[in-house]
Amino acid sequence: MLTFSLNGRQVSVQAEPKTPLLWILREHLNLSGTKYGCGAGLCGACTVHLNGAAVRSCQVEAAQLDGARVVTIEGLSADSSHPLQKAWVAEQVPQCGYCQSGQIMKAAELLAANPKPTRAQIVAHMDGNICRCGTYHRIATAIERASREG
Amino acid sequence: MGEIRNEGLELSRREFLAGAGGLAFWAGFGANGFQLISEAQATTQAKVLNPWVRVAPDGGVIILSAGAEMGQGSMTSLAAIVAEEMDADWSKVVIEFAPAEASVYGYVDGDTRSMTIAGSRAVMRYYADLRIAGAQVRKVLVASAAEKWGVEPSSLRTEPGAVIDPATGRRLAYGEIAAFAKPPVRLPGVDKAELKKRSEFRIIGKSVPRRDIPLKVNGTARYAIDVHLPGMVYASTRHSPVHGGAPESWNDATVRGLPGVLGVIRLADGVAVVADRFENALAARKALAVKWKPDAPAAGFDSEKTLSDDYVRVHADPAAKTRTLDAKGDADRAFAAATKTHRAEFRSDYGYHAQMEPLNAVARFNPSFDQVEVWDGSQSPDRCRAGVAKALGFTLAQVTIHQCYMGGGFGRRTLGDYAAEAARIAREVRKPVKLIWTREEDIAHGMFRPQSFQCLEAAQDASGKVVGWRHCVVGDGGVLLHTGIKIPYYGVPNQHLELRGVSHGIRVKHWRAVGHVFNVFAIESFVDQMATAQGMDPVEFRFRHMSISPRARVLFEKVVQMSDWKAPRPEGRALGISLSERSGSLGAGVAEVSLDRASGRIRVHKVWLAVDGGLVVQPAAAKANIESGIVYGLSSVLYERVTVKEGVVMQSNFHDYHVMRMSDMPEEMHVEFVERDAPPSGLGEIGNPWVAAAVANAFHRLSGKRLQHLPFTPERVRAVLDA
C-alpha cells in the first residue's frame, strides 16, 4: 500500500512498484483528466505535478510516490478558476482537447517559476507537449494572457 | 449557462420521461431528409428514440446534435443552426449527442442515410434541414402564443427565448409557452421563404463559444478512454505486424500465468490479452510471443522500393490496368498539337493520423448477453454500431452506442473496428471491458494515407494557354488516391485523369483530405513549374493561361493582397503560392519560407490563406479548424512518413513519427474568409492540402530546385540541393 497526497488529499493505493502513475490516476483512482498519449514520455499528454514539478506520469513509477505530493488537472483549481484555465477558455484553445490537461499542467509549472515569460521562454518550456490539432499558437497566446491577467 | 451534457442517452431519456410537460419535437425520416415531427407522429415510428428538440417549462432547451466532436466544433455548430431558426436563447440551450440511428438522425447521402462526420461536411450536410427544423419549432411556439392571446400568429414576432406581441408589448417566454402548449398532431411545414434572412441571424455567422471547451480545460470532457464501469477489466491487443496476417499460435500458458491475466483471445488478425488492471494487460501484451501465419497479404512489402521502382513501371506499362477518372475534350490531340509540353513526377509517402487519443472502446453486455452497450468516440456512430453488430452476429437493435468526445479523428475513427474488438472481447470474458490500443499498436496496425506516384503532363498552345492536361496517379487505395485530382477551377479544355491501382495489403484510410494532400501538391507544384519555365509570376500565369474560374481568381487576388505577394522579403526568405478545393470550399494560400542549406531544414515563417466557404456558420471555430489544418498540413509536409519493410511498419511512437511541435510553428498564420452568398461548405480540410505546393514553390524560389517527394525531410532536401 502506498500513500501520497493527490490534489490535497491523502490517498492510498495498492499497486505494484513499477506501475506508472498514469494508470494509478486513471484506472485505480478513476481520475481521468490526465491522458494517455504515448506511454513513453514523448508527448506530454499525461503531464502532472509531482512535488511541484511537471512530470510525465507515464514515466513515474508507483515506487517513487510514497509520501509524494501529486497535483493533476482536477486539482489545479476547484472550479476552472486558475488563470490558465480562464485564459484557455478566453482564447478558445482546445480543439479535440485531449492534450490540453497536459499542456495546462506544463504551462502552470512555467508560470509558477516565471510569472512573466517571454514568447521564446514559453516555446522552449512547452516544446515537449504535442498538440495534434496544432493549437500551439493559441496555447502560447493563452499563457501570455494568463501571465498578464493573473 | 448552457453546457454540453456528456452522460450519454440514459440521463437525457430519464430526464425527458420524468420532466413535467414541455414541448418536444422528434426527428422523423422523410423522403427528402431530416425533418421534425410531432409526438403523435413519432409514436407511429419504431425507431424514434429521443426528442430532437425539447423546450422545458423552465425555459431550458435541449437540442440533439449529430455533430460528432473531434475538436472541429460541429457539435456546437449544428445545434446553433437549430437555435438560430427557433430563436432560442442560446444561454439556455443544452446540447446532447444524437443516438446512433442513421435512419432517423442521418443526412441523406445518395441512396442511404448516414451520420458519418467526415470530409469536414457536418455543417454542409445538415445546414438546410436543421434550419427548417428550428423554424418548425418556432412556428409551433408562435402559434401557441397566438392561440393563447387570441391573435393572428403573423402579428407576433420572436426574440431570443420569447414570443412578443408588438401591438401590446406583452411577451411569453418559450418555457412559459411550453408549460401550457398542446403539441400539434402534425407539425407545420416551413417554406424556405419563412426562414430568417441572413441579416436577421443572431447566432449564425456570429461565433458563439464552443460548448465543449470548458470541459476540456478541467479534465471533465469524457472520451471513451475515460469511461469507468463497475467490474470493468482491461484489454490490449497485438495485431499482426504484417498487415492482414493471422495468429497461428502463441505462448498461451505463459501469458495466462501472468499476474492478473483473465483471458487471451484470438482475433482474426491478432491476439487480445485481458487482465484485472491495465498495467497487467500491458505486461501480458509485452510477454505475448505470437507465431504468425506466413501468408499475410502485406508479406514482403517494401514501401520505399515500391514507390521508387514499381509505381514507375506500372505507370509506363501499356498493359497496366487503368481507370479513367475524368476526361474532357481530346487530350491526345491537344498534346499532338501543342507548342510546348511539360511533364513532372511526384511522390508521396504513407501518412499516419497520429490522433492524440489512441484507439480504444468500452463494451458492456446485459446479464443475458443479448444486448451490448459500446462507448466509442466515433466519427460514424452508425457505422460503429453496424460493425459491432456484425462482429457479434447481433441485430442493430441489440447494440447501443454511447458517443464520446474524440481525442482526434482525422478520418481514422469512422469504422469502429476497435469497438467491435472490445465487444467481442467483453463477450468472451463475460465482463465489461475497456480495450486500449497502445500507441505502438495504433501505429503498427494503423490505416494510412496511401503512398502515391503522380505523373502530370500539360500542353500549351501557341498563345501559351494550357489546353491539355494529363494526370496519372499510381498506388493502392482506390478513391483515397484520387480525391482532389480534379481541377474544376482551371478550365483546361482537354483533360485525361487516370488511376492505376495496385495492391499491397497495407491498410489505408481517409486522412484529413487524403488524396488532396498529394494530388494538390502535384497539381499546384506543376502549375508553378510551368509559370517559372516561362519566367512568369505564378499568379499571373494562372490568370492568363489556366482559364481560372472567377471564384478562384478572387481568392488569389485576396491572398496576394493579404501577403503583399509582390513585396520584397527579408534576405533568405521567399514566398510560394497554391490553391486547393475541398468539400465545396476553395482556398488560396501563401507560405513564407527559409532554408538552412547545411541541415536541409525548411522553416515556414508566415502563412496566409484566403478561404471561400460560402456562409460560415461559426467563423471563430471555423478559423481555428482551418489553422489546425494548416499546422496538420505543415507537419505532414515537413516531417511525417510511415515506411514499411518486409510488410512491417517501421515507426513505433512519436520519437520516430515526428509531428509538429510548438517550436516548429510559423510565427504568423492569417486566415480570412471571402464573403459569398452560398450555402456552407466544408472547412475542416481546406487548411492542409494547399500547403505542400506552397512550400515547394517557395523552396524553388530560394534554391532553383524542385521538391517532388513528400515529406520534405532534411535528408531529401539536402539530396535535392546536391543534385
pLDDT digits 0-9 by tens, B560-594: 999 999 999 999 999 999 999 999 999 999 999 99
Percent residues over pLDDT 70 in chain B: 96
Chain B residue with the nearest C-alpha to that of A124: B663
* Mean pLDDT value across residues B75-83: 96
Co-location of A92 and A71 in the same domain: no
Judged by CB atoms closer than 8 Å, whether chains meet at B408 and A33 is answered as no
Co-location of A69 and A88 in the same domain: no
CA distance B38 to B653: 52
Judged by CB atoms closer than 8 Å, whether chains meet at A96 and B653 is answered as no
For residue A7, the domain's CATH number is: 3.10.20.30
pLDDT recorded at residue B184: 87
CATH number of B225-293+359-436: 3.30.365.10
CA distance A126 to B195: 47
pLDDT recorded at residue A5: 98
* Mean pLDDT value across residues B28-37: 70
The answer to whether residues B585 and B682 touch, using CB atoms and an 8 Å cutoff, is: yes
pLDDT recorded at residue A20: 98
Q: What is the 3-state secondary structure (H, E, C) of chain A?
A: CEEEEECCEEEEECCCCCCEHHHHHHHHCCCCCCCCCCCCCCCCCCEEEECCEEEEHHHCEHHHCCCCEEECHHHHCCCCCCHHHHHHHHCCCCCCCCCHHHHHHHHHHHHHHCCCCCHHHHHHHHCCCCCCCCCHHHHHHHHHHHHHHC
Model pLDDT for residues B519-552, shown as the tens digit of each residue: 999 999 999 999 999 999 999 999 999 999 999 9
Q: Among A62-76, B29-43, B310-324, name the one with the lowest average pLDDT.
A: B29-43
Co-location of A12 and A55 in the same domain: yes
Question: Does residue B297 sit at the A interface (CB-CB below 8 Å)?
Answer: no
Question: Does residue A144 sit at the B interface (CB-CB below 8 Å)?
Answer: no
Q: Which of B480, B472, B471 is nearest to B451 (CA)?
A: B480
Co-location of A11 and A34 in the same domain: yes
Last residue of a domain, one of A76, A107, A138: A76
Last residue of a domain, one of A51, A76, A101: A76
Judged by CB atoms closer than 8 Å, whether chains meet at B355 and A80 is answered as no
pLDDT recorded at residue B36: 85
CA distance B700 to A86: 44
- CB within 8 Å of A73: residues ≥ 6 apart: A33, A34, A48, A101, A104, A105, B218, B219
Q: Is the pLDDT of residue B15 over 90?
A: no
Phi-psi region of B329 (alpha: psi -120 to 50; beta: other; left: phi over 0): left
Q: And the C-alpha cell for B435?
A: 480495450
Sign of the CA dihedral B535, B536, B538, B544? negative
- CB within 8 Å of B211: residues ≥ 6 apart: B2, B3, B4, B75, B76, B79, B95
pLDDT recorded at residue B33: 65
The answer to whether residues B237 and B267 touch, using CB atoms and an 8 Å cutoff, is: yes
Q: Is the pLDDT of residue B203 over 70?
A: yes
Judged by CB atoms closer than 8 Å, whether chains meet at B654 and A38 is answered as yes
Co-location of A65 and A109 in the same domain: no
pLDDT recorded at residue B47: 62
pLDDT recorded at residue B29: 65
Q: Which DSSP letter does residue B566 get?
A: T
CA distance B419 to B441: 15
Chain A residues touching B669 at Cβ < 8 A: 137
Q: Which of B413, B420, B414 is nearest to B442 (CA)?
A: B413
Model pLDDT for residues B160-191, shown as the tens digit of each residue: 999 999 999 999 999 999 999 988 888 898 99
pLDDT recorded at residue A44: 98
Question: Does residue A138 sit at the B interface (CB-CB below 8 Å)?
Answer: yes
Domain count, chain A: 2
Task: Mutate one of A29, A95, A144 to test the B interface: name it (highest B CB count within 10 A).
Answer: A95
Chain B residues touching A134 at Cβ < 8 A: 627-628, 630-632, 635, 660, 665
Q: Is the pLDDT of residue B1 over 60?
A: no
Model pLDDT for residues B394-431, shown as the tens digit of each residue: 999 999 999 999 999 999 999 999 999 999 999 999 99
CA distance B519 to B480: 11
H helices of B345-501, in order, are 381-392, 417-429, 439-444, 479-482
Residue among A27, A92, A131 minimizing CB distance to B278:
A27
pLDDT recorded at residue B153: 97
Question: Does residue A50 sit at the B interface (CB-CB below 8 Å)?
Answer: no
Q: How far, CA to CA in Å, does B275 sit from each of B54, B187, B228, B290, B426?
A: 43, 53, 15, 18, 12
Q: Is the pLDDT of residue B12 over 50?
A: no
Per the DSSP assignment, residues forming a β-bridge with B363 are B374, B433
In angstroms, the separation between the Cα of residue A123 and the nearest Cα of chain B is: 6
Please give the distance of CA B312 from its chain centroid, rounded to a whole number: 31
Co-location of A13 and A67 in the same domain: yes
pLDDT recorded at residue B30: 63
Last residue of a domain, one of A76, A110, A126: A76
ipTM for the predicted complex:
0.98
For strands B668-673 and B648-649, give the pairing.
Answer: unpaired
Chain A residue with the nearest C-alpha to that of B283: A19
pLDDT band at B11 (very low <50, low <70, confident <90, very high): very low
Q: Is the pLDDT of residue B34 over 90?
A: no
Q: Is the pLDDT of residue B135 over 80?
A: yes
pLDDT mean for each 10 residues of chain A (150 residues): 96 96 98 98 98 98 96 98 98 98 98 98 98 98 96
pLDDT band at B9 (very low <50, low <70, confident <90, very high): very low
- CB within 8 Å of B397: residues ≥ 6 apart: none
Residue listed under C-alpha cell 474560374: B549
* Mean pLDDT value across residues B110-123: 88
Residue extents of the structural domains in chain B = 9-216, 225-293+359-436, 304-350+448-722
Per the DSSP assignment, residues forming a β-bridge with B500 are B474
Reduced to 3 states, what is the DSSP secondary structure of residue B241?
coil
Residue listed under C-alpha cell 492569417: B670
Judged by CB atoms closer than 8 Å, whether chains meet at B209 and A92 is answered as yes
Question: Does residue A104 sit at the B interface (CB-CB below 8 Å)?
Answer: yes
Angle CA(B510)–CA(B511)–CA(B513) in degrees, nearest 5?
Answer: 95
Amino acid at site B712 = F
Percent residues over pLDDT 90 in chain B: 88
Residue listed under C-alpha cell 510548438: B662
Peptide bond into A83 cis (omega under 30): no
pLDDT recorded at residue B48: 58
In angstroms, the separation between the Cα of residue A113 and the nearest Cα of chain B is: 20
Chain A residues touching B439 at Cβ < 8 A: 37-40
Judged by CB atoms closer than 8 Å, whether chains meet at A35 and B407 is answered as yes
Amino acid at site A73 = I
Judged by CB atoms closer than 8 Å, whether chains meet at B661 and A136 is answered as yes
Co-location of A69 and A100 in the same domain: no
Across all residues in chain B, what is the average pLDDT?
A: 94
Window 5-44 of A, Cβ < 8 Å to B: 15-16, 18-20, 23, 26-28, 30-40, 42-43
CA distance B449 to B637: 13
Q: And the C-alpha cell for B29?
A: 425520416
Q: And the C-alpha cell for A115?
A: 510569472
CATH number of B9-216: 3.30.365.10
Co-location of A71 and A6 in the same domain: yes
For residue A145, the domain's CATH number is: 1.10.150.120
Question: Does residue A115 sit at the B interface (CB-CB below 8 Å)?
Answer: no
Q: Considering the entire predicted model, what is its pTM?
A: 0.96
Window 593-652 of B, Cβ < 8 Å to A: 620-621, 624-625, 627-628, 630-632, 635
Q: Is the pLDDT of residue B16 over 50?
A: no
The answer to whether residues B380 and B415 touch, using CB atoms and an 8 Å cutoff, is: yes
pLDDT band at B636 (very low <50, low <70, confident <90, very high): very high
| DSSP letters spanning B327-387 | EES-HHHHHHT-SEEEEEEEEE-BB----SS--EEEEEE-TTSS-EEEEE--S-HHHHHHH
pLDDT recorded at residue B113: 86
Chain A residues touching B356 at Cβ < 8 A: 35, 37, 43, 45, 96, 98-99, 130-132
CA distance B55 to B33: 23
Query: Which domain does A34 fall in, by range?
Result: 2-76
pLDDT recorded at residue B17: 38
CATH number of B304-350+448-722: 3.30.365.10
pLDDT recorded at residue B39: 79
Co-location of A69 and A101 in the same domain: no
Residue among B73, B217, B221 minimizing CB distance to A104:
B217
